Structure 1
Amino acid sequence: MAKKTIRTERRRRADEPTEGRKRAEAPQRRRPVSRPGTPRPGSGSGGSSRPPIRPPSGSVGPLLGLLGRLPLPVLIILGLIAVCLIGAFFIFGGGDLLSGTDFSQQAAPQQEDDFFTAADAVPTQPPATFIPPPPSTEGQTWLVMLYQDADDKILEQDIYLDLNEAERIGSNDRLHIVAQVDRYSAGYQGDGNWASTRRYYITQDSDLQRVSSQQIQDLGEVNMSDGDTLVDFVTWAIETFPADKHVLIMSDHGMGWPGGWSDPAPGGRGDASIPLASRLGDELYLMEIDEALQEIRAQTGLEQFELIGMDACLMGHLEVFSALQPHSRYAVASQEVEPALGWAYTGFLGELARNPDMTGADLGRFIVESYIDEDQRIVDDQARAEFLRQGSPVGGLFSLLGGGGGSTMSASQLARQLEQNVTLTAVDLAVLPALMDSVNNLSFTLQDADQRSVAQARSYAQSFTSVFGSDIPASYIDLGNFVQLLQRQSSSSAVSAATNNVLAAINQAVIAEKHGPNKPGATGVSIYFPNSQLYNNPITGPESYTAIARRFAQDSLWDDFMAFHYTGRTFSSADTSLVIPDRAAGIEVPGAGGITVSDLFMSDNVAAPGQPILLSVDITGENVGYIYLFAGFFDRASNSIYVADNDYLEAPDTREADGVFYPDWGTEPFTMEFEWEPLVFALNDGVNSIVAPLTPQSYGATYEEATYTTDGIYTYADGETRHARLLFQNGVLRQVFGFTNTDGTGAPREITPESGDTFTVLERWIDLDASGNVVQNTTQEGGTLTFSDQPITWEALDAAAGDYIVGFVVTDLDGNAYQAFGEVTVR
């Protein structure tokens, strides 16, 4: 049978016509000057080092058929894959991402904020002798405890506004609301600009600009990432405010199964015995949360919390719900990164105040239902105008789509835009053991399944942001969507029955769930399923996973199954031990497809704007995942390669599983053809146009729904910086995310830009030595964009004249890459 030919095109369209299109300038590498004999400083924080996933070493093979004109061994291309095609490392190598630049937090001169100016700031009420209100003698009573770790530049104002939202309801004789809030020393300037940790008894006040509640105590600076601090606050609150029902809501950055709640001041150290904790430093890790809740119950005699809420990113994991299950009847958490708004405190607390006879299930449903739609920064006209005035990408997007200025957006219009990527879940923890049992049964059953089908389901399942980096396949996946894919791909009746049981158990456990249209496969509960690279690294493998997600690993067979999937280690249905495979045994890669890619055929080795060339390769093998276009500019003066362009290439068919779309390349050998025209893409803020790498993130149902990211340095108007990421869809900036650590590691959280804040693009480079070997994969600062009321968009430019490496990268379902490249001269 003749081999079929697939004529493909890139996913990211260039809408600008060739005639009149602007031309990019040639990029230039600025290599740092090193002193002779001085070793290059390591990356990361605290002097720790990070093992790279694929460390380049040595020189292998010939020069890509480039006739000696470019000193580029095949090894260079391997280096390209790791750093260029699928983003930057967070936890692993690529720690050089911010190497050589000091992004440490700075206490910059105070600057007036337009909404809360220094002149208008009124300090919150000073501490006075606090007399707790007498307990109610009629009806069911509630105590809502807000543990608000706002000691962070990104989150401080957002969490402080959540506290003000709670004030719009306030306490009454059957509902007591108390808060412990830790503010940041050089961030949000409003309401007195204090920076310590305070406790408040929340009383009614409608002013969103200042906290008027009674300050009970100023604790000074305490470590909110210490489990003892959580224990101290909650035990004090329970003993001070007797109630029938107890609710604990914890706010800060979240990281999924690792935990979250970092606190840079005073800060602390992570557990050196756990690789991930040693790497990240002090956080409130999941096993610490579990232990703190157990200690709280022991000290207070509390049988269970009625509800525990995680107003933090990425905490909707089965591993997290398992840790909370002994301590609470219900839980609420998000599978994905939360918008800057956080939860709608006025909305759900108002429902609780009006009906204190409700159950924790009712409250969980109200939290989910009110999320985004009833947030005061959306429904309050003044707060909405201020939110849009800050430079939110949503306002500019609304204007771009013909809706007028951002200030004219209605509450419903703004809510629709902000709900695009949200998730939120309320879970009945009393039935979680049934869900755990069903997952255990599935884990055991999957030993008899084709592991390539399992790897395919993992690869294509609805995924969520991972704190471990976007350079390799996503590891936080939706449990329900994963088993739905297993169902479709397996002919086994046992697997079908096991997946049906998991889906039924999810439906029983999830009592309320909300997800935006960009997360169509979300069913409410995530699980950690790393690829072989993550599993094989102690930082993200079982050495850390079983120690931090300890209760889940002890109670489930999921860690046993992952060991089987990657090492072949079998297990029984009665196994309960924590599984850390012997590293000497080696790792199998079920998602690998035995893929081969032929040499690249080029119709010509010279291209120019308006004069494309045809590229083609023969591809064979199973488990072809995504295929990418790659183009790199060779800067002869510095002997470095600039990552100029990479993009998805479109398969002839797109498959769909409950709203999640992925390319279908089939299983038969094929020839792929692509017409390459030399293009690069730039980001435009309405004034400046900056060439920037756009890294593919999600494939989408159509090219309009595909998403791309650009990494860089976000600089606030006061001069403080954060490693950040811009998310684009269909040519327009949709969201901005910042990271807790200055080297780009840690938990993500959405940033709401202020007009005047800037974003400096990080260009991606591969430095070579005189023999053409890779010296380092690195970044350097490129151009700078400024946030305003104008939307930031991408635009296509003609690529600069010069020598390029152009070709394809084919990935299998484990993220392994197979490539074919050639040299093209662009006129």
Structure 2
Amino acid sequence: MQHVQTLIVILLLAACSPARANPSPALADWTILVFMNGDNNLEPWALSDFYEMASVKSTKNVNIAVQLDRNGRYTGAYNRWTETRRFLVKKNQLPSPDASVQNLGEVNMGDPKALEDFLRWGMQTYPAKRYALILWDHGQGYRDISDTGFQGDFFRSARGMPFRSVSHDDTDRDQLYNQEIQQALRAALAGKKLDLIGFDACLMGMLETAYAMREFAEVMVASEDLEPGFGWAYDKWVAELAERPGASSEEVARMIVKTYPQAYNPSVLQPDETMTLSAIRLSQIDPLAAAVSTLSDAMLRSLDTEIGAIEAARHASPAFARDHPKKGDQRFHHVDLKKFATEYQGRTRNEDIQKSLAEVIARHQPAVIASYAGPVRLREGASGLAIYFPAGRMAYATDVLEERGYEKSNEVYPVAFVREQRWADFLHAYFERVP
């Protein structure tokens, strides 16, 4: 009987002891989440960039998770699979169906819910100390037009509305607007911030885009101008990150910008002289946007006397993506913000405006962490952030890509920068006075 009592006591003690918790897996330093939309004519370049990622040695410190949607019309590789698949990219891995970790079927990559779901899944499945989200595809800045057949960034009508956008899905005839990206990030992050958000896409390096992303990430990487189909040099910057996994968000952004021109083998293909890429410190966007609004107010007050100087400064600020897709074509009206401010500084004697211009330039400096520009764009003054600025009334009136995006009353995918800042007020007053 005594032995039985002793056994009961031991069992009771064991039952009261806390269970030994399974140790949590060690957090990676970085998880890179690539929302790769190859459901269009960039499909071959999507596979090319996947190969670049897979050329880097695998490490427990850096995860690369990819959601890849294919079209099947532009390359027959891997039996032309056309669904949307998720991958954890490893050394020498191929983007074949059996290498994926999930088959989602056909996913509309132009739906904000798809972006939200991918971000949630990536952060939960591959937890890390730091996260980067990269939107990979065509891009048109802060807000598309019929297919030109160009093998690279081109323009297509998806919903029948030519709004500027990113992540164009041919199968589902849809794309993401900045407001929809905001919606997806707000739902997935729930008040937290990404360490880095990147647009491996054309023309997203605008103040309007940075303003929309400022509450969701520490740093943004994007191009003021068109990006060639090769896109970023993933084999270079991911390899550098694998060697330095403790790098900060700003350090990784610098890696991406620094290695960008290295995506091109000089013996095969020279880097495009109009290439641009910049890293933007998003915590500095509010002060910069406020400075642009103050400048807008100053120009409005003196528009009758300043109109000539403003017009001359605008014409001295070359537009990005000009001559695309054909010589003499000018369907985008993005100019470098600092270039315009600098040109205007040398043309006005208005002290109020001079002060406002100096503030814009001063606020621009801490906002741009790093900037690359090919020789042509460098000579023209590309410095990291573009802004929408048609040269005059006719340029604005005939901008088929604008679709009331710069009207404060617009309710269709409204642009936060337009609604909340006063640059649009200046522009409309300017358009009333110039030819």
Tell me whether the two structures share a fold, i.e. TM-score over 0.5.
yes
**Match for residue 188 of structure 2?**
296
**Residues 146 and 248, structure 1, Cα contact 8 Å, conserved in 2:** yes
CA separation in 1, counterparts of 2:57 and 2:142?
33
**Residues 81 and 97, structure 2, Cα contact 8 Å, conserved in 1:** no
**Residues 202 and 213, structure 1, Cα contact 8 Å, conserved in 2:** no
CA separation in 1, counterparts of 2:111 and 2:424?
27
CA separation in 2, counterparts of 1:259 and 1:331?
23
SS in structure 2 of the partner of residue 220 of structure 1? coil
**Match for residue 389 of structure 2?**
529
CA separation in 2, counterparts of 1:304 and 1:478?
27
**How do 1:222-301 residues align onto structure 2 when only pairs under 5 Å count?**
222-258=107-143, 270=159, 276=163, 282-298=174-190
**How do 1:697-712 residues align onto structure 2 when only pairs under 5 Å count?**
none
CA separation in 2, counterparts of 1:292 and 1:318?
20
**Residues 57 and 90, structure 2, Cα contact 8 Å, conserved in 1:** yes
Partner amino acid for 1:241? Answer: Y
Match of 2:375 among 517, 522, 539: 517
SS in structure 2 of the partner of residue 518 of structure 1? helix
Cα deviation, 1:151-210, whole Å, max 9, x if unaligned, reads 112x111111101111112542221111000112211122332222110011111x7x76
What's the CA shift for 1:462?
2.5
Cα deviation, 1:430-475, whole Å, max 9, x if unaligned, reads 1111111211111111121411221222222021016899556851
Determine whether 1:370 maps to 2:252: no
**Match for residue 147 of structure 1?**
35
User: Residues 135, 319 of structure 1: CA spacing in aligned structure 2 closer, same or farther, 3 A cutoff?
Assistant: farther
Larger helix percent: 2
**How do 1:402-801 residues align onto structure 2 when only pairs under 5 Å count?**
411-412=265-266, 417-447=270-300, 448-449=302-303, 450-465=306-321, 475-519=333-377, 520=379, 521-530=381-390, 531-536=392-397, 539-540=400-401, 543-545=404-406, 546=408, 547=410, 548=413, 550-566=415-431, 588-590=432-434, 592=435
CA separation in 1, counterparts of 2:367 and 2:124?
31
User: Residues 535, 216 of structure 1: CA spacing in aligned structure 2 closer, same or farther, 3 A cutoff?
Assistant: same
Match of 1:332 among 196, 218, 221: 221
Determine whether 1:189 maps to 2:76: yes
**Match for residue 59 of structure 2?**
172
CA separation in 2, counterparts of 1:362 and 1:211?
32
**Residues 142 and 415, structure 2, Cα contact 8 Å, conserved in 1:** no
CA separation in 2, counterparts of 1:149 and 1:186?
14
CA separation in 2, counterparts of 1:304 and 1:200?
23
CA separation in 2, counterparts of 1:171 and 1:444?
53
**Residues 337 and 465, structure 1, Cα contact 8 Å, conserved in 2:** yes
CA separation in 1, counterparts of 2:366 and 2:212?
19
What's the CA shift for 1:213?
8.3
**Residues 336 and 386, structure 2, Cα contact 8 Å, conserved in 1:** yes
Larger strand percent: 1
**How do 1:26-105 residues align onto structure 2 when only pairs under 5 Å count?**
none
Cα deviation, 1:782-817, whole Å, max 9, x if unaligned, reads xxxxxxxxxxxxxxxxxxxxxxxxxxxxxxxxxxxx
CA separation in 2, counterparts of 1:475 and 1:303?
34
Q: Which structure has more RCO (C-alpha within 8 Å, separation ≥ 6)?
A: 1
Match of 1:199 among 86, 97, 106: 86
**Match for residue 776 of structure 1?**
none
CA separation in 2, counterparts of 1:275 and 1:518?
29
Determine whether 1:310 maps to 2:210: no
Partner amino acid for 2:91? Answer: Q
Partner amino acid for 2:177? Answer: Y
TM-score by length of 1: 0.44
**Residues 445 and 495, structure 1, Cα contact 8 Å, conserved in 2:** yes
What's the CA shift for 1:418?
1.4
Structure 1: which 5+ residue stretches go unaligned? 1-133, 379-410, 567-587, 593-827
What's the CA shift for 1:135?
6.2
CA separation in 1, counterparts of 2:231 and 2:24?
30
**Residues 135 and 241, structure 1, Cα contact 8 Å, conserved in 2:** no
Cα deviation, 1:607-646, whole Å, max 9, x if unaligned, reads xxxxxxxxxxxxxxxxxxxxxxxxxxxxxxxxxxxxxxxx
User: Residues 152, 523 of structure 1: CA spacing in aligned structure 2 closer, same or farther, 3 A cutoff?
Assistant: same
**Residues 203 and 214, structure 1, Cα contact 8 Å, conserved in 2:** no
**Residues 334 and 389, structure 2, Cα contact 8 Å, conserved in 1:** yes
User: Residues 371, 212 of structure 1: CA spacing in aligned structure 2 closer, same or farther, 3 A cutoff?
Assistant: farther
Partner amino acid for 2:215? Answer: P
**Residues 297 and 304, structure 1, Cα contact 8 Å, conserved in 2:** yes
What's the CA shift for 1:522?
0.3
Structure 2: which 5+ residue stretches go unaligned? 1-22, 148-155
Cα deviation, 1:637-669, whole Å, max 9, x if unaligned, reads xxxxxxxxxxxxxxxxxxxxxxxxxxxxxxxxx
**Residues 245 and 306, structure 1, Cα contact 8 Å, conserved in 2:** yes
User: Residues 287, 309 of structure 1: CA spacing in aligned structure 2 closer, same or farther, 3 A cutoff?
Assistant: same
Report the structure number with the largest CA radius of gyration: 1
CA separation in 1, counterparts of 2:164 and 2:201?
19
User: Residues 549, 314 of structure 1: CA spacing in aligned structure 2 closer, same or farther, 3 A cutoff?
Assistant: farther
**Match for residue 354 of structure 1?**
243
SS in structure 2 of the partner of residue 244 of structure 1? strand
CA RMSD of aligned residues (A): 2.9
**Residues 223 and 278, structure 2, Cα contact 8 Å, conserved in 1:** yes
Identity over aligned residues, as a percent?
A: 30
What's the CA shift for 1:332?
0.2
What's the CA shift for 1:214?
3.5
